[in-house]
Amino acid sequence: MENIGQIKTLISEADLKKRVEELAKQIYEDYNKRSITFICILKGSVFFTVDLAKHIPSNVKLEFIRVSSYHGTESTGKIELKIDLKDDIEGEDVLIIEDIVDTGRTLSYLKEYLKTKNPKSLKICTLLDKKERRVCEIEPEYVGFNIPDKFVLGYGLDVDEEYRNLPYIGYIDNV
Ligand code: 5GP
């Protein structure tokens, strides 16, 4: 692991917990207690998906998909599907669970792809939103926190596959 400098806290563990619980309550009410299919975008959304699902009292099905567009801290703009869905989502209320929306390229690609699977509804829930970096028109229905244009890590988010396990969202000034 290269030296990445000092990690500063952007969102504390307590603030994450509180906001995730609020989002879960809002989602539960909006879906009127119906069953929801969460599509967790690997690997970054794993922590958020699990915590969110645990706070929804109705049935939540879990599906996983993996795309890659990033190398280190820079987007290449090219999206590749690395792991596809295993089950059919036709006719289901689908909520894509994302860790962070940056340019919006990943979600634009995924939304178009998932629409071809004919879900009953398709919405997006992101923990973090870096709105000022947007290139594609993507408006998530649920947003945990709007954040400034900083490279963040922790709570599922990595720096070259490291530091996903931090229980808070941090940032490093020198990357
Ligand atoms: P987008 O396609 O919206 O530009 O980027 C979405 C993906 O880029 C996220 O799912 C995440 O994997 C990665 N990403 C964007 N910004 C950050 C960041 O600040 N930190 C980390 N670790 N990943 C990021």
pLDDT digits (tens, 9 = 90+) for 49-108: 999 999 999 999 999 999 986 544 455 567 889 999 999 999 999 999 999 999 999 999
* Nearest atom, ligand 1, residue 157 CA: 22
Confidence of residue 3 (pLDDT cuts 50, 70, 90): low
Q: Which domain holds residue 126?
A: 16-144
- Note whether residue 170 is domain-resident: no
| Ligand 1 first shell, C-beta below 6 A | 44, 69-70, 75, 98-106, 151-153, 157-158
Give the pLDDT confidence score for residue 33 in this predicted structure: 85
Position 174 scores a pLDDT of 67
User: Would residue 21 count as lying in a domain?
Assistant: yes
Q: What is the pLDDT of residue 75?
A: 54
Q: Give the CATH number for residue 93.
A: 3.40.50.2020
> Token digits for 152?
């963040």
Index of the ligand 1 atom closest to the CA of residue 102: 3
Domain presence at residue 172: no
Instruction: List the residue whose alpha carbon is closest to atom 16 of ligand 1.
Output: 102
Whether 106 is covered by a domain: the verdict is yes
Distance, in Å, from the CA atom of 98 to the CA atom of 145, rounded to the nearest integer, reads 12
Q: Is residue 123 packed enough to be buried (19+ CB in 10 Å), middle (13-18) or exposed (0-12)?
A: middle
Mutation test of ligand 1: which of 100, 106, 146, 151 has the most ligand atoms closer than 8 Å to its C-beta? 100
Asked about 102 being catalytic, the answer comes back as yes
Domain count, the chain: 1
Q: How far apart are CA 37 and CA 40, in angstroms?
A: 9
Q: Is residue 152 situated within a structural domain?
A: no
Strands 169-171 and 152-153: antiparallel
Across all residues in the chain, what is the average pLDDT?
Answer: 92
Q: Do β-strands 169-171 and 8-11 pair in parallel, antiparallel, or remain unpaired?
A: antiparallel
Tell me which of 48, 99, 160 to substitute to probe ligand 1's pocket, judged by most ligand atoms within 8 Å of the beta carbon.
99
Ligand 1 geometric centre to CA of 32 (Å): 31
Residue 38 forms part of a structural domain: yes
Question: Is position 158 within any domain?
Answer: no
35 part of a folded domain = yes
Render pLDDT for 141-167 as a digit per residue (tens, 0 to 9).
Answer: 999 999 999 999 999 999 999 999 999
Q: Choose, from 102, 129, 158, 173, the residue flagged as catalytic.
A: 102
